[in-house]
Structures are given as C-alpha cells and as structure tokens.
Structure 1
Amino acid sequence: MNLSIVIPLLNEEESLAELHRWIAGVMAANSYSYEILFIDDGSTDGSWKKIQSLSAADPNVKGIRFLRNYGKSQALHAGFARAQGDVVITMDADLQDNPQEIPELYNMITQQGYDLVSGWKKKRYDSVLSKNMPSKLFNWAARKTSGVKLNDFNCGLKAYRLDVVKNIEVSGEMHRYIPVLAKNAGFPKIGEKVVKHQARKYGNTKFGMERFINGFLDLITIWFISKFGKRPMHLFGALGVLMFIIGLLSALYIGLIKLIKLYNHEPAILVTDNPWFYIALTTMIIGTQLFLAGFLGEIILRTKNNEERYKISETL
C-alpha cells in the first residue's frame, strides 16, 4: 500500500464528505493504493455516523472512535498504530489542509529520501493577533530549543516514512513536536514544503490562545526529555550534589567562625541565631531532595509500564 492518510477530528461532520471526495480524487488521479483513517476523538455531533457511511461506500475508509475526547496526540497515536502504508500522511479534517499537496509530499519521502516532511503554511488566513504572531514566536522558540529548523511546527499536514511513525511515542500534547520526537528517535532527515492554507469553511476552530501557553510548556518538557529523559540523575543528581556541598561548606564555615571566636574569647552569637545557618541548612535539604528526585526518576525509567492512554469504542 502506498499511502495511509491519518485524519484526527473533533466535531467535523460537515466537512468529512467533501474532504473524502477531495482525497479520493487525488488518489485516483495518481493511481495510489491507499487507506483513509478517520480518528474520531470523542465527537458529540454526527461525525461518527458520517464516517460509518463513508466506510460503507468506500472500503478504503477506516475509522477509530474514542469513548471521549482524549486529544490530538492520542488520536495520532492510534492512527499511527494502525497505519500500513509505505508513507503516512497526517492532515486536519477542517478542509484547511489541501490534499493536492499529497503527491509532492509522497515524492519527497519516496524519491528524495526524507524521513519526515512538514508542511509550512507560509501564507495564512488566520487572525494576525490571535494566531499568526503567537505562532511565529512559538516556532522561533521551538527552533532555538530543539535545533530542528522548521518554520511551522504546528502544521497538521505532514508526511512520514512508515517506520518513523512506528518508532515515535506521541503522548500528552506532543503532536506539535513530532519532528523533534522523530529527530530524537534517530530520523534526522527532516524536510519542509510550503503548502496552501485554506480558510476554514465549516464550524469553528477547536484551539484557543491556551494552546500557545500549553505549547511553550510542552516545549520545556520536550527539551528536558531530549536532554535528560534517559538520564534524569545527570541533571537532578548533579544539581542536588552541588547544592548539598555548597550548604555543607557554608555550615562548616559558620561553625568554624564560631569556634575561632570562642577560642579568641570574642563575643559570638549562637549558631542557631545566625540567619545564614538556616540558609545553609535549607540549601542542603533542597540538594538532598533534588538528588532523590533524580534517583527516583532513574528507578521509574527502569520499572515503568505502558499505561492505558485512551479507550476505543468502535473501529471500522
């Protein structure tokens, strides 16, 4: 099979039939063998019924339905687990991604040897203040932090080699950083293609300004995971030992000064009356806690089990 097209969605009933026709037309024009995987992330409208009707009419259409809304990352994870095509395409269901881009994305993977190709919506039809400016700031921070030189991390239109999606773990809200996850997993050949951005035709966006706050928090998380995810003791242990030594040396210095003053019969306050003693003590306590945090992190890494991430109610 040439292509698996993974489409996560939430309450996109109105756009599904049109999107299916558009994708099917592109697939037929290029003689691709393909499957379309609609991942219904807990929709409360008629999205699942629409997917069922599309699947009944077209055997290339498959579906996964979550019991409730788990988020885009979990939907992509479920789609990646089921995908079988040599190249996996992800796109949004709101008709803002253009299926006409798929052939060139496919060729970049199969002929040019890219592991992953990310779309870049260079010209957008979103509000400048609510989306464009925050998105540019977010993408700049992501480039600087991750070292992956992309202009649009959050574009839903991406292409992957099959073994890429089978070897990355998309969790939490890390769908924004799949290129970073791919790089960390050993797939460094990441490309970018300028793609057309369509104005939303039906419904409303499912993401508000909070996605940028969450995005920056996730960026910190993925930076930490990239640097210390396999060795938390290297960060917490090092900081803990450093703080403990600083606190210990400070406490010894305070005690030594007290002994010197007593030996010379000079007036000296009680050690416990010296505020620096408590600062030194606090530093040692924090250092111990950081060391224990690193130690516990190492234990968790070696004993963790995969947790249940979502519940699927139906598949097609």
Structure 2
Amino acid sequence: MISVVIAAYNEEGIIRQSVLKTLDYLRNEIAGSWELIVVNDGSADGTGAILDEMAKTETDLVVLHHLHNYGQGRALRTGFAQCHGDVIVTLDADLSYGPQYIKILTGSLKDKRVDIALASAYAKGGTVRNVPYYRLFLSKWGNYYLARMSQYSISTSTCVVRAYRREVIDSLFLTADGMELQLEILMKSAMMNFKVSEEPAELAWDMDKLMEADFGRVSKMRIFRTIALYLKMGWLFRPAYIFIIASLLLLGPGLYMAFYLALFRLAPTFMEHLGSGLSVAVSVSLAENLTKYAYSFGLSAALIIFGFQLFIFGMLMMQSKFYFDELYRLGQQIIFDNRRNREDKK
C-alpha cells in the first residue's frame, strides 16, 4: 500500500486542483491500494474548509487539521503518524513536481533497492522552469554545500518530494517542525545506514506562484534565515569539518613560515658560525634571528599552536559523533524491537 502525504498552509487558491489531480493520478496510474492524506497546517484562509468539503465526497481522501501553524515538518510528521502504507510518498501542496513522481519514486525504491528515493531538479537530466533566479541560486548553492557536508552523494537535500520505505520513518525519531525536517531525515538516515537515491525531475512553478515569489516582496530576513538554516544543518551533518578545515588554514601558512625561517634564516647563520662549535652556532643563530625576525617567528608559532589545537578538537568531535551515531542506532533499534514485540503480542 502507498500512502501519499501532503502538507498544506494557506493554499485555498490551488488546494482543490492539487488534490483532485493527485486523486485522479492515483486512481488511474497506481494499480495497488493507496491512501491520500492532506494535513491542513493551521491555515488562516479557506484551505481547511475546502479540504473538509472535498472529504465528504472523496472517500479516498483523509484530511487532518492543526489548530495552529506549526510548520511543514510538523504537518508531515502528523501525516506520517496516520499512514497505513508500507511505502510513504510526500508531495508539495502546489504539485511543483507533479503527481507522476509517485510512480517514479516508488519504482526507484524497488528497482534500486534503496530506502529513500528523492526527486531532484538538480540531478543530471533534471530541469527547472519559472523559478526566480535568486531562489534558484540560493537553493542550488545551499544544496551543493549540504551535499559536500552530508554522507550522501545527492544534488538535492531539501526537496519535499520523496518516497520512503515505511521502516525508515518508523525507525527515525523526528523532531523538526519546519522545512529542516527534510535534512533531519537525511542526517538520521545516514546514522542508520539507510540507502538513498535520486531521480531527475522537472521543477516547474506556475505563473501565480512566480508572481507571489517576486523578489521585491520577499523578506530579506527570510532569506537570511534560509542561509542560516543551510549553514546550521551542514554543521550538524559533519561538525568536525569546520574545525579541521580551519586548522589546515592555520597550519598551512604556519608550517610554511617555519620552514622558510629555518631554511633561509636559521640555517645560513648556523652554518656561518659552525666553526666556533655546535652550541655556539645554535645560540648565535637563534639569538640573531629571533631578534631580527621576532614577529615572523611569533606569528608562525601562533599559527601552528592554534592550528594544532583546532585539529585535535576536530578529531575529538569526530570521535564524539561516531559514539553518538552508535548510541543513536542502538536506541532506535531498542525502540523498534519494543514496538515489534508489542505488535506481536496483539
């Protein structure tokens, strides 16, 4: 059975068309059993009323409501809790990717033997139409950064349109309320060693959505929040990387300066006074050069010391994350086993 989940917030202008289009696709293209769950995330417009009206005549439609707007992540989690299928598919309320990806992604789960299948407009063969340039630029570079920081070789980490095996959702303890849920799922799936693949897709905005997303009406604070979210989630994927990269940026110049000072400053002076004895040559060489190039020696030493400290700190963070991942897997396995035992007793 396939469970399709859609989170909707203030979508009264499109929600009826989106739901009907999805139902039509499921009835005509999906051979097995399925269910469509739409979660109204505390919409302030007529979205909830439209969905309730449709649910009276569309028996295959399940409508859930939040009293308040908690965010896309909370809405999807509410939908997950009501799913009965062994495969769960999530879609955008505006169908930016289209319902045809239900079959494409569920097929990918089976054909590629993966646990999560993603729709990606940035994968090879994917296309993007009518998306504002600033939005496309931010999304592409944000996803590129997340791909470099995550354990998965994928081009899109933030897309909602996905298919999951039921055991993936059941085995993850999810807490995110906003759009970061997509990243939380990938991060915790990596801890559980779940396999992920992506399918090239077409991302197409209609003209109404394009007008609403006009750059002049987009809050700069919202853009900054999105950038901050990307940076934070990348950090959570691999927290040690920042420290290791910073340590290399310090150690590189520091070691180069130390090598240069030793080879072109200390060594010539040492060789010049070597005839007077080893101890004299060492003392004179250090005294002359430390006096003459005190700032260079001081800077080199500071870079090496701070760089080495950051490197050790990064390695300790890698060790800590390894143990955290192990404990997370153990905890989730215990939860999964307890749930299975309760079901067996029933």
Q: Return the TM-score normalized by structure 2.
A: 0.60
Q: Distance in 2 between matches of 1:63 and 1:201?
A: 27
Q: Distance in 2 between matches of 1:165 and 1:77?
A: 9
Residue pairs, 1:203-218, within 5 angstroms: 204=212, 208-209=222-223, 210-218=225-233
Q: Distance in 2 between matches of 1:223 and 1:14?
A: 41
Residue pairs, 1:90-239, within 5 angstroms: 90-121=90-121, 122-124=126-128, 125-128=130-133, 130-172=134-176, 173=178, 174-177=180-183, 178-188=185-195, 190-200=196-206, 202=208, 204=212, 208-209=222-223, 210-224=225-239
Cα distance, 1:78 vs. partner?
1.2
CA contact (8 A) 2:146 2:230 kept: no
Structure with greater contact order relative to length (CA < 8 Å, sep ≥ 6): 1
Q: Distance in 2 between matches of 1:161 and 1:139?
A: 23
| CA displacement 1:19-57 (0-9 Å, x = unmatched) | 122112211222332111111111100111111112111
1:38 alignment counterpart: 38
Q: Distance in 2 between matches of 1:223 and 1:197?
A: 29
CA contact (8 A) 1:94 1:202 kept: no
Q: Which has the higher helix share?
A: 2
Q: How well do the aligned residues superpose, as a CA RMSD in angstroms?
A: 2.9
Q: Distance in 2 between matches of 1:12 and 1:105?
A: 25
Cα distance, 1:146 vs. partner?
1.2
- Equivalent residue of 1:4, what SS? strand
Question: Structure 1 residues 32, 15: CA separation in 2 closer, same or farther (over 3 Å shift)?
Answer: farther
1:135 alignment partner AA: S
- Equivalent residue of 1:169, what SS? coil
Q: Return the TM-score normalized by structure 1.
A: 0.66
2:203 alignment partner AA: H
Question: Structure 1 residues 201, 213: CA separation in 2 closer, same or farther (over 3 Å shift)?
Answer: same
Of stretches 20-29 and 170-179 in structure 1, the one that deviates more from structure 2 is 170-179
Of stretches 168-177 and 114-123 in structure 1, the one that deviates more from structure 2 is 168-177
CA contact (8 A) 1:14 1:202 kept: no
| CA displacement 1:115-152 (0-9 Å, x = unmatched) | 00011013222122x21222122112111111211111
Cα distance, 1:213 vs. partner?
2.2
2:316 alignment counterpart: none
- Equivalent residue of 1:110, what SS? helix
Q: Distance in 2 between matches of 1:163 and 1:9?
A: 25
Cα distance, 1:202 vs. partner?
4.3
1:191 alignment partner AA: S
Q: Distance in 1 between matches of 2:236 and 2:139?
A: 18
1:64 alignment partner AA: L
CA contact (8 A) 1:74 1:170 kept: no
2:204 alignment partner AA: Q
1:24 alignment counterpart: 23
Gaps of 5+ in 2: 241-312, 314-319, 329-346
2:52 alignment partner AA: Q
Q: Distance in 2 between matches of 1:185 and 1:54?
A: 39
| CA displacement 1:155-175 (0-9 Å, x = unmatched) | 111011111111223323432
Q: Distance in 2 between matches of 1:18 and 1:83?
A: 23
CA contact (8 A) 2:149 2:237 kept: no
- Equivalent residue of 1:191, what SS? strand
1:223 alignment partner AA: R
Gaps of 5+ in 1: 228-286, 288-293, 303-316
- Equivalent residue of 1:160, what SS? strand
Question: Structure 1 residues 16, 4: CA separation in 2 closer, same or farther (over 3 Å shift)?
Answer: same
Cα distance, 1:112 vs. partner?
3.2
- Equivalent residue of 1:62, what SS? strand
Aligned residues: 231
2:205 alignment partner AA: A
| CA displacement 1:167-199 (0-9 Å, x = unmatched) | 2233234323122322222313x1100112121
Of stretches 44-53 and 140-149 in structure 1, the one that deviates more from structure 2 is 140-149
Q: Distance in 1 between matches of 2:22 and 2:74?
A: 23
